[in-house]
């Protein structure tokens, strides 16, 4: 586990990341501490910076990818529950929802909003039985996964046959102008917004890390290839505004 840098994860070995951690063990510990600390301010900062594009967008993505009333949903990397709450509303009272995240601080915020089963755990090792759910969601957390192969195999395992996975993530835009705009947003606008209220001070580091991990993220094609390798079919990726991606797949 004590490998030099993330090789099987969604991050390249990028010099920017050495400022944060030296190996996989440090990366996990740093990520958890960062999210625990940022948890109380996460939702406010998220809505100010729009980097997850809000609750409406998350709900719309789940809906148009087939999450329906009565289904069972596992929301991986649930955090403070922005995707979980949207999923919970869509599956309705006949549905079932599990929310998984390694950060107790983030899950504590989630439990203030929605009554679902919460599990402290990692995408790479999900403590749930095979064939449990109709839908697996993951919002803006792929860059924190240390091993995509393990995580996607786990998603496939917990899905029922015919079940779907839907992963929302931000990626580096292909065009120079869009890259510069995103860099300006993350490097200038977001830190200014973060300083505007003291409440957001704890999330400043989180957002800096966000910017660096977007730059260091592996190419979308490699994420699609990892989904196929895990055994998903109908694997696809759609992109909005050159930045917001939805990776989807189905268990045969």
Query: What is the DSSP track for 74-107?
Result: EEET-TTSHHHHHHHHHH-TTSEEEEEES-HHHH
Q: Contact with ligand SAM (CB under 6 A): which of 41, 139, 211, 249?
A: 139
Least Å distance, CB 200 to ligand SAM, is 15
Which is nearer to ligand SAM, 117 or 233 (by Cβ)? 117
Span from 10-18, 89-97, 141-149, 173-181 in contact with ligand SAM (CB under 6 A): 141-149
Q: Of these, 6, 61, 123, 136, which contacts ligand SAM (CB under 6 A)?
A: 123
Residue 166 β-bridge partners: 137, 248
Do the Cβ atoms of 83 and 89 come closer than 8 Å? no
* Least spacing, CB of residue 124 vs ligand SAM, in Å: 6
Chain Cα centroid distance, residue 198:
26
Which part of the chain contacts ligand SAM (CB under 6 A), choosing from 12-20, 60-68, 95-103, 193-201? Answer: 95-103
Nearer to ligand SAM, 52 or 95 (CB): 52
Query: Comparing C-alpha atoms, which of 246, 242, 247, 241 is closest to residue 225?
Result: 247
Q: Find the binding residues for ligand SAM in span 154-213 (CB under 6 A).
A: none
Whose tokens are 């039985």? That residue is 129
Q: Is the dihedral of CA 216, 122, 153, 140 positive or negative?
A: negative
Q: How far is the CB of 81 from ligand SAM (least distance, A)?
A: 7
Write the CA distances from 118 to 113, 126, 166, 196, integer angstroms: 12, 12, 19, 33
Total number of residues binding ligand SAM (CB under 6 A)? 22
Task: State which of residues 61, 62, 74, 77 lies at the interface with ligand SAM (CB under 6 A).
Answer: 77
Tell me how far, at minimum, the Cβ of 207 lies from ligand SAM, in Å. Answer: 10
Interface residue with ligand SAM among 31, 49, 53, 171 (CB under 6 A) is 31
CA-CA distances (angstroms) from residue 87 to 57, 84, 153?
A: 12, 5, 22
CB of 176 to ligand SAM, least distance (A): 26
Q: Is 52 in the site for ligand SAM (CB under 6 A)?
A: yes
Enumerate the β-bridge partners of residue 73. Answer: 97, 135
Alpha carbon 165 to chain centroid distance?
Answer: 12
Q: Which two tokens stand for residue 20?
A: 């944060």
The CA distance from 99 to 117, in Å, is 6
| Options 12-20, 134-142, 195-203, 217-225: segment touching ligand SAM (CB under 6 A) | 134-142
Whichever of 95 and 146 has its CB closer to ligand SAM, that residue is 146
Q: How far is the CB of 177 from ligand SAM (least distance, A)?
A: 26
Q: Which residues bind ligand SAM (CB under 6 A)?
A: 31, 35, 52, 76-79, 82-83, 101-103, 106, 122-124, 139-141, 144-146
């Amino acid at each position: 586990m004590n490998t030099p840098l993330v090789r099987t994860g969604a991050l390249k070995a990028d010099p920017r990341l050495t400022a944060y951690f030296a190996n996989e063990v440090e990366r996990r510990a740093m990520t958890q501490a960062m999210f625990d600390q940022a948890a109380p301010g996460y939702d406010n900062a998220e809505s100010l910076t729009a980097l997850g594009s809000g609750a409406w967008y998350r709900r719309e993505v789940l809906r148009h990818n087939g999450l329906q009333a009565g289904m069972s949903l596992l929301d991986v990397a649930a955090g403070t529950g922005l995707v979980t709450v949207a999923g919970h509303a869509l599956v309705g009272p006949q549905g079932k929802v599990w929310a998984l995240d390694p950060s107790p601080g983030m899950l504590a915020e989630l439990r203030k909003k929605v009554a679902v089963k919460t599990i402290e755990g990692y995408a790479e090792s999900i403590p749930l039985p095979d064939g449990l759910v109709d839908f697996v969601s993951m919002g803006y957390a792929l860059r924190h996964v240390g091993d995509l192969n393990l995580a996607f195999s786990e998603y496939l395992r917990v899905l029922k046959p015919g079940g779907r996975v839907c992963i929302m993530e931000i990626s580096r835009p292909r065009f120079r102008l869009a890259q510069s705009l995103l860099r300006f947003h993350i490097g200038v606008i977001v830190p200014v917004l973060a300083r505007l209220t003291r409440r957001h001070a704890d999330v400043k580091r989180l957002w800096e890390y966000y910017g660096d991990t977007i730059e260091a993220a592996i190419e979308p094609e490699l994420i699609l290839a990892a989904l196929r390798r895990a055994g998903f079919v109908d694997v696809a990726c759609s992109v909005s505004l050159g930045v917001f991606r939805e990776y989807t797949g189905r268990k045969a």
